[in-house]
Structure 1
Amino acid sequence: MSKRNVKDPEERKRELIDTASKLFEQYGYERVSVRDILAEVNGAPGMFYYYFKSKEDIFLACMETYFDEKLKNKLDIFQNLEIDYEERIKMLRDLVVKDIDQFSRKYNFSSNNSITDNSYRLWELAHYIGKFIDVYSEFIIEGVEGGKIENNMEIDRENVKSFAAFILYGAAGTIYTNLINKGENKTNSSGAFEVISKFFPRIR
């Protein structure tokens, strides 16, 4: 008798997330059902509900998994003190531009999407940005204390998180405003970088 191929629980959960991500990207949130996901992995409803409470739950898990991978790449650069500060800024900008393009295609805010669909996407984007605040605050302080950027706004360790949050959420609004408000596949990363550079002019 052949042994049944029993997958590790984390492997099975990741398989569900990967499969659901592909379906959501291809068809949109509203046009994908739990049954569709299970059909792709040849699974039973009990198996799905062992890991997720609902379709909404796995949709958020898909986006969180996607964002966590992007977050790790950026954190590795932010915190790598062996790389020059200026070089880290360049690397991060290049990575952000690449991620913005991918995000706008993978998780678009098309007017053809339902309100629920776009609301979940927007909520997860805001949640993702929030995860940057602490590490971005440290990056700002490093630049100020290391004499890499001018401190015209009297930023210190007491108020830096407020500045970081304001800049990160403001930058996201600048980058994605046409995508979110008009459903246009158009972003404005250069405009966001220009504003950030005015906040933090670098010392020449």
Structure 2
Amino acid sequence: MVCMTARKKDNLRKRQEFIDTATELFGQYGVDGTSLRDVIKASNGGKGVSPSVFYYYFDSKDDLINACMDSYMGSYARSIIAAFDDDGQSTQDMIDNVLVCVGQAWEGLKEFFPSANERDDWVSRFDRLFVDALLSSITPSMTHALAKALDQGDLPVTQLSRQVGPSGLAALLCTGTSTICRQLQDPVSQSAQQVEMLVGTYARQLLGLVQD
């Protein structure tokens, strides 16, 4: 049992090394500009590995890209959850901190898919990456934070919040944010500040903090 556990940890570590190496290369050259050969050559501290080692952990470049995106979005999910769980901040500060994380995550995705030619790749992955890997994972903490803010009077009790409750508000915030980002005509040209502004306006209106 001990040997199996150690082996599993070693496999996870080696798999993560490929993810970290590929993430760095994708950030520099984009997904299309990075080949599997580049990743394999840069792995193992730049010493490289045999292709068979890579294919032990991943089925293809596409499989590697998805793993990198899951890891990337997971890191931002943890940052957003930390913002929701920080009891020492106001509701407005919480919203602002979450928006910064969303904007930073957006900027990072633009680095992975930097060219117009990669638009189709961006669109095909967006829902899974943004909704499944990020928004769905933060929903429980968001629901808890919204419930607390409503109970303490930091958020106004509106007809909508009475009808759907904190969990419903959290779901609407997540799906609305996804829709806003997905509907942007040219994701590559949109800045983090623009995304933060659009999502922030939506969130504040939904939560009754500003009027239309």
> Does TM, scored on the shorter chain, surpass 0.5?
yes
Contact preservation (8 Å) 1:137, 1:161: yes
Deviating runs (4+, > 4 A) in structure 1?
A: 156-159
Contact preservation (8 Å) 2:31, 2:112: no
Hey, what does 1:62 align to over in structure 2?
68
Counterpart selection for 1:107 from 98, 107, 112: 112
Hey, what does 1:153 align to over in structure 2?
159
CA distance in 2, matches of 1:118, 1:24: 17
Q: What SS does structure 1 have at the residue aligned with 2:15? A: helix
CA distance in 2, matches of 1:91, 1:183: 22
CA distance in 1, matches of 2:187, 2:209: 35
The TM-score normalised by the length of structure 1 is 0.78
Alpha carbons of 1:25 and 1:58: their partners in 2 closer, same or farther (altered >3 Å)? same
Counterpart selection for 2:189 from 185, 193, 196: 185
Deviations 1:119-174 (A, max 9, x none): 12442122122222222122211111111111212536975333322222212332
Alpha carbons of 1:182 and 1:92: their partners in 2 closer, same or farther (altered >3 Å)? closer
Hey, what does 2:173 align to over in structure 1?
167
What is the Cα deviation at residue 110 of structure 1? 4.2
The TM-score normalised by the length of structure 2 is 0.76
Contact preservation (8 Å) 2:31, 2:113: no
Hey, what does 1:71 align to over in structure 2?
77
**Structure 1 residues not aligned, in runs of 5+:** 1-6
Contact preservation (8 Å) 1:38, 1:44: yes
Hey, what does 1:24 align to over in structure 2?
26
Hey, what does 2:144 align to over in structure 1?
138
Counterpart selection for 2:135 from 126, 129, 141: 129
What is the Cα deviation at residue 191 of structure 1? 2.4
Letter of the aligned partner of 1:142 in structure 2?
Answer: K
Hey, what does 1:4 align to over in structure 2?
none
Seq. identity, %: 20
**Structure 2 residues not aligned, in runs of 5+:** 1-8
Quick check: which one's helix share is greater?
2
CA distance in 2, matches of 1:95, 1:29: 22
Letter of the aligned partner of 2:35 in structure 1?
Answer: S
CA distance in 2, matches of 1:43, 1:8: 16
Contact preservation (8 Å) 1:109, 1:118: no
Contact preservation (8 Å) 1:28, 1:113: no
Q: Which moved more, 1:184-193 or 1:88-97?
A: 88-97
What is the Cα deviation at residue 43 of structure 1? 0.7
Contact preservation (8 Å) 2:30, 2:113: no
Hey, what does 1:200 align to over in structure 2?
207
